[in-house]
Structure formats: C-alpha cells, structure tokens
Chains A and B, each alone.
Chain A
Amino acid sequence: MRQRESTIALVFLAPAFVALGVFLFYPIVQTAIYSLFDLEYSTRWREATFVGLANYGDVLASREFWGSMRFTVLFTVAAVSLEFVLGLGMALATFWVVRPLRGILRAIIVLPWAIPGVIQASMWRWLFNSDVGLLGHLAVALGLADQPPLFLADPTLAVGSVILAYVWKGASISAIFLMGGLAMVPQHLLDAAKMDGARAWMRLRRITLPLILPTILVTLLFRTLDALRVFDIVYGLTGGGPGTTTDTLSSFAYKFYFTFVQFGRGSAYAIITFLLVTGLSLLYIRRITPHLRFR
C-alpha cells in the first residue's frame, strides 16, 4: 500500500517538477555554468574559454558591485522597516475603525498591492516630475522646499524616491499579511485584557504583538526577500540612475546582460544575488512549513 501510494505521489508530482525543472532549475544551473566562462555577446559557452571563478573575482572587485550591494542592503533595510511600520498601522486601523468603514478600508489598502510594479514606476515618475509633479508642488505648498525638488536626478533624493515608491506597494502587502495575523488573535483574550485593566497601548504591546509574532517574522522575511530581488520599480523609475546610484543587484545584473551583453559577468552577478536570497529563503520556508499539517 505504502509502495503504491508513493508511486502515485511520484506521478502526481512529476508534471510540476518537469515544469520547474525546465524553467527554473535548469536555467539556474545554466546561469551558474555561464558564470564560469568568458562570455561576451554570446551565450555559446561550449565554444568559450573556461575562466573558473574569474568572473566572480571581477565582479567582487568592481566598485559598481559594492555600490549596488550597498544600495540593495540600504534599500532593503529602509524599505522593509518603513513598510512594516506603515503596514502594521494600516492593519491595526482596519480592526480599530467603526464597523461600516472596515470593508472600505481593507479594499483601499489592498489596491496598491495589485498594481504591477512597472506601472507603479510610471505613475511615480509622473508624481516625481520636476516641473509639474504633484509631490514637488506639494513640497513647495507645505513649505518644505522653495521650488519643486529634483526627485529623480538628485542622488540622495533619488534613493528616497525609489524607497517611497516601493514602500507604497510594500506597505499594502505587509498590511495584508498582518491583517491575516490580527484576524487570528482571539477576541476573548483582548476582552480579558480590557477587564484586567489594560489600556490600548498595553493591550497592543503585551497581548496583540506577542501573539502575532509568527506573522510578523514571516512578513519581515517575505518582504526582505522581495526587496533583495527588486527589479521592476528601479528599472521603470530611475533605470538605476542617476549614474548607478539606485542600481540594485538585479537591475545591475540585467544591465550586464542586455546593455553590456556580458553574459559571463552578468551570470556571476546573478548567482551572487541568488545565493544571498536563497540563504534567507531557506529560513523563510523553515518558518512557514511546520504550520501545514499533512497526513
């Protein structure tokens, strides 16, 4: 019986693994192979020179790599913490406002999540426009600036702009995750805390947050993984500019591929990104797997 069941399982799993194999596992291995060859303007690695880890050496020695690495890490830390705070605030709000508003609020919060990253990038590019951008004029109207700032041209502001545009969507996703966690906090525990004399702040700090700690961890890990892989917002908003100020690991690797057409180095770049993300994703998967109970 057991033998038979594993055969059936194998048959059921096979199609999915074939698809994953062709479009994910195989390309990852292939990229790793590319990264060991001197490839320019071509991916015909069988005819190219094997260079061992030289591409990795080149990448790790380049200023651009460390620049994009630094930006990616800074971006990840800033974006994930900001979107967590905003997301938590919004998620709590959906449970706090009077009942008739809750559905409306949830719908509003979910909207940014659904908008494709590149389209968001276009929207924000218009909002950040230095001549007639809404945000620039708002900054002037609020007395924050004398004239509309050059959001995307000034290196410091560009970093902030990319983070803001990314956080807009990220806060929405974080809020969705946290709403799910908050919905599972039993109401009777909050009632008990009220009866025990705990005011809102104490209930949040001592009851709600500890109880949704698993959700918080999953949210932070998931969002960190996403931020480390970020591509579309950067590509569409600044293209990595000004210069390479806002290039992330992914967007710079993409330039290596399709702008510089250096497949060997680009692949080394991609593999480094992959390893970084995979380490964290193992943590993430370990975290969520035990919650599924199987036969």
Chain B
Amino acid sequence: MAQVAVQQISKRFGSVTAVDELTWTFDDGGLTVLVGPSGCGKTTLLRMIAGLEEPSGGQVWFGDLDVTAVPPWERNAAMVFQSYALYPHMTVFANMAFPLQARKLKKDAIRRQVERTAQALGIDHLLRRKPRELSGGQMQRVALGRAMVRQPDVYLMDEPLSNLDAQLRVEMRGEIKRLQRALGVTTIYVTHDQAEAMTMADTLVVLRDGRIEQAGDPELIYRQPATAFVAGFIGSPMINFIDVRLDETGAAWMLGDLRGALPARLPAAAAGTAGQPLVLGIRPEDVVVSLEAILDSLPARAVVREPLGKEALLLLAADALPAGSLLRAITPPDLRPAPDETVWLHFPPARIHLFDPTTNRALQSTIGSPR
C-alpha cells in the first residue's frame, strides 16, 4: 500500500494542454474520485499515474518512490478499464491468472489465488468461459477480479461502470465501494457521472481544463461549491443561476423588485460595492414554492411540471428573468399548480450561493476553498 501523489504534473498533446501543472496527494487507503466533463484531463491524469502516458512535466510518487520513469509493468498498480479490456482469446481463469503469471508465481499458487478471488466476487462458476460468453455485469466482475487477484499498491479505475445498464450500475457502485473498504487499498476512480462521483467518493476532486477546480469531502463540495462551475457540475437537476445585483447598502441582493438577505455566513463587506452585479445560485431543492404570495418572494408561472414520483420538478418562468430562461424547483408531489398559474418563489438566505460574475468564484466562502 502506498500514498500516491502527483506533483506539478502536466501533459500536453501538441498545442493542447490536457493536464496543467497539477499537484495532489491521494488519501492513503481511501477512494478518491476524479470527476469532470469530458476533456477535463481526468483520464489523462489517471493514465499518467498508471504509467501508460508519459508526463510532459512533473512527477508521480508511489510512497517515497518517484515512479515517473518507471514503466507500468513495474509499478504494481492495477487498472480497471471502461471497456473491461478482457483478453478475448483467454478464459476467465486465464484472464485472472495473467497478472500472476507475469509475476512468475507457481502454478498451484496461481490456481488457489484465482479461485479465492473468483469466489469473493461470485464468479467462480464462470472460470472456464470466454469473455464473449459473459454478460456485461459478469465481464465487469471479471475485470475487477483480474485487478484484485494480486495485491496492488493502488487501484486505478477508468469509468468502470459506464457500459452497464442503469440498475446494474447502481448495484455495482455499492459493490465496488464495499470491496474497496474491505481491502483498504488506495483507489483512484475516474467518472464523468457526478451522481456516481458523489455516492462513491471519500474524497472528490473536480477537474476542469486540466486543473483542480475544487477538492474535498463530496457533501461539503455540494453545499459549498467554490466556483460557479462546480456548483453547476455537481448536483442534479442542475443548480439555478440568476443574475442579480447588490443593493445600495451592500447587504442585500436585488432581482427586479425582489430584495434578499445575503447568507449569514458571508460578512457584509465581502460582497463588494453597491450595485455590483452578482450571480445567485440556488439548487432546485432549495427553492421554496408557494401557491400564495409570501414574504421576499418572486412571482413566477409554472410552465412544465415533471412528476418524479416522491417529488416533482417544476420549470418556471418569471418576468424578472430574461425571456426564455426557466428556473428549476423540486416540489412536494401534492403541490400542483395549474398551467400558467402564478406561484411565488422564495430563496432562503442560508441556501443561496453568490458568485462573482467576472471570476466565477464564490464570494468569500471559507470552507472548501479552491486550491
């Protein structure tokens, strides 16, 4: 087991910079999820840690060892691929035995170890099959088995669940998390799916354009996004962004006639000068929707209502908002405004996020600040 770290690591493909002088130390024994939109550099970063991609600059450390120049087959890192990358010409047994054969283990030791791992994953009845005779879920388990059959210093997982159907994906999330806990081996997990990232991560690292946008405890990142990008990327349905401005006192935000208090955690002076434009972010589940006028609320019309079962998603238009832009709000299932009926929206001060429109950074949030 080892503490994996990257230091000022970069990767350029021609004129494109995929990873840009990134530094991070991964939790020893924990599960770190790298998440971000496609092209953010997460897979490139993982492949550099694996040794499959040579960094253009910077180092990779496994414990006290600088492994930057060490080829992948000497790094003792196990990797699970999006495509599973099972060897199609080998049986499941041979697939799982392969890493052990590479380590020149004895035949019976290999058999014992493969069988034990297969049992732990519930695939011991599949050992004599070829990959093409397996279902997606079974291939996924074999790929995990091939990574687990030896004792690697680190597990690297590149979108391992994205080829599974929705139900199986949710099931395997829990399974991988359980196995990771049990083994206690440092695991770096790449995904573009923010829900998967939230549910699995001990530590969440949000990447954008080859840099770390924000990193830390997933729930903290959800509650205190350091930038508008993180706020927009994490959370579904997506957070609402509304252009507002600071009133003349500098202690409240204004949207048309509506005036709202700044969050208590934000010192009054932090917001800046009077009249300054701001971006207000509020998550759909934090929007309070009322059929009658309430204090500090914005009149709006329900345009579409999408029932989700235990709740419903309302899409709302408001005169104070630019034409065509809709607000999202999660409401209890019994709140059923008629089409185009006026409702009132309230944004609780404790729940709003304010961002500087020029830097896109959250105003003075003290926790989970960007690095």
Chain A: residues with CB nearer than 8 A to chain B? 186, 188-189, 191-199, 202, 206-207, 210-211
Let me know if A197 and B99 touch, CB within 8 A: yes
Please, could you name 30 A-B residue pairs with CB atoms under 8 Å apart, sorted by A?
Answer: A186-B83, A189-B88, A191-B50, A191-B72, A191-B79, A191-B81, A191-B85, A192-B79, A192-B87, A193-B98, A194-B51, A194-B71, A194-B73, A195-B50, A195-B52, A195-B72, A195-B73, A195-B79, A196-B73, A196-B102, A197-B76, A197-B99, A197-B103, A197-B150, A198-B73, A206-B98, A207-B87, A210-B89, A211-B88, A211-B89
- Decide yes or no: A194 and B87 within 8 Å by CB, A188-B81, A199-B73, A206-B98 being known contacts: no
CB-CB under 8 A from B77, the residues of chain A are 195
1/0 per residue B112-123: CB within 8 Å of A? 000000000000
Let me know if A196 and B146 touch, CB within 8 A: yes
Give the residues from 87 to 114 in chain B that come closer than 8 angstroms, CB to CB, to chain A. Answer: 87-89, 98-99, 101-103
Which range holds the interface residue count of chain B? 20 to 34
Let me know if B87 and A197 touch, CB within 8 A: no
Interchain residue pairs A-B with the least CB separation, the first 4? A197-B102, A192-B85, A196-B99, A195-B79
CB-CB under 8 A from A207, the residues of chain B are 87
Minimal beta-carbon separation of A10 from chain B (angstroms): 38
Give the residues from 186 to 202 in chain B that come closer than 8 angstroms, CB to CB, to chain A. Answer: none
Which of A202, A210, A211 is in CB contact (< 8 Å) with B102? A202
Let me know if B81 and A192 touch, CB within 8 A: yes
CB-CB under 8 A from A197, the residues of chain B are 73-74, 76, 99, 102-103, 150
Q: How far is the CA of A198 from the CA of B71 in the complex (A)?
A: 10
Is residue B279 contacting chain A, with contact meaning CB distance below 8 A? no
1/0 per residue B165-176: CB within 8 Å of A? 000000000000
Query: For residue A188, which residue of chain B has the nearest CB?
Result: B85
Is residue B78 contacting chain A, with contact meaning CB distance below 8 A? yes
**With A194-B51, A194-B52, A196-B102 given, can you name 8 additional A-B contacts, CB distance below 8 Å?**
A189-B85, A191-B52, A192-B85, A192-B87, A195-B52, A196-B73, A199-B73, A211-B88
How many pairs of A and B residues are in contact by the CB < 8 Å rule? 60
CB-CB under 8 A from A186, the residues of chain B are 83, 85
CB-CB under 8 A from B87, the residues of chain A are 189, 192-193, 206-207
Query: For residue A210, which residue of chain B has the nearest CB?
Result: B89
CB-CB under 8 A from B79, the residues of chain A are 191-192, 195
Minimal beta-carbon separation of B93 from chain A (angstroms): 14
Q: How far is the CA of A191 from the CA of B72 in the complex (A)?
A: 9
CB-CB under 8 A from B72, the residues of chain A are 191, 194-195
Minimal beta-carbon separation of A213 from chain B (angstroms): 8
Q: How far is the CA of A207 from the CA of B86 in the complex (A)?
A: 11
Let me know if B89 and A195 touch, CB within 8 A: no
Q: How far is the CA of A156 from the CA of B171 in the complex (A)?
A: 71
Q: How far is the CA of A195 from the CA of B98 in the complex (A)?
A: 11
Q: How far is the CA of A196 from the CA of B77 in the complex (A)?
A: 8
Let me know if B102 and A198 touch, CB within 8 A: yes
Which of B81, B87, B156 is the most central at the interface, judged by chain A CB atoms within 10 Å of its CB? Answer: B87
Query: For residue A191, which residue of chain B has the nearest CB?
Result: B52
Minimal beta-carbon separation of B75 from chain A (angstroms): 8
Minimal beta-carbon separation of B46 from chain A (angstroms): 11
1/0 per residue B281-295: CB within 8 Å of A? 000000000000000
Minimal beta-carbon separation of A151 from chain B (angstroms): 44
Q: How far is the CA of A229 from the CA of B224 in the complex (A)?
A: 77
Q: How far is the CA of A96 from the CA of B277 in the complex (A)?
A: 56
Q: How far is the CA of A191 from the CA of B52 in the complex (A)?
A: 7
CB-CB under 8 A from A188, the residues of chain B are 81, 83, 85
Query: For residue A189, which residue of chain B has the nearest CB?
Result: B85
CB-CB under 8 A from B89, the residues of chain A are 210-211
CB-CB under 8 A from B76, the residues of chain A are 197
CB-CB under 8 A from A191, the residues of chain B are 50, 52, 72, 79, 81, 85
Q: How far is the CA of A59 from the CA of B85 in the complex (A)?
A: 57
CB-CB under 8 A from B83, the residues of chain A are 186, 188
Q: How far is the CA of A193 from the CA of B97 in the complex (A)?
A: 12
Q: How far is the CA of A191 from the CA of B77 in the complex (A)?
A: 12
Minimal beta-carbon separation of A248 from chain B (angstroms): 37
Minimal beta-carbon separation of B74 from chain A (angstroms): 8
Q: How far is the CA of A206 from the CA of B73 in the complex (A)?
A: 15
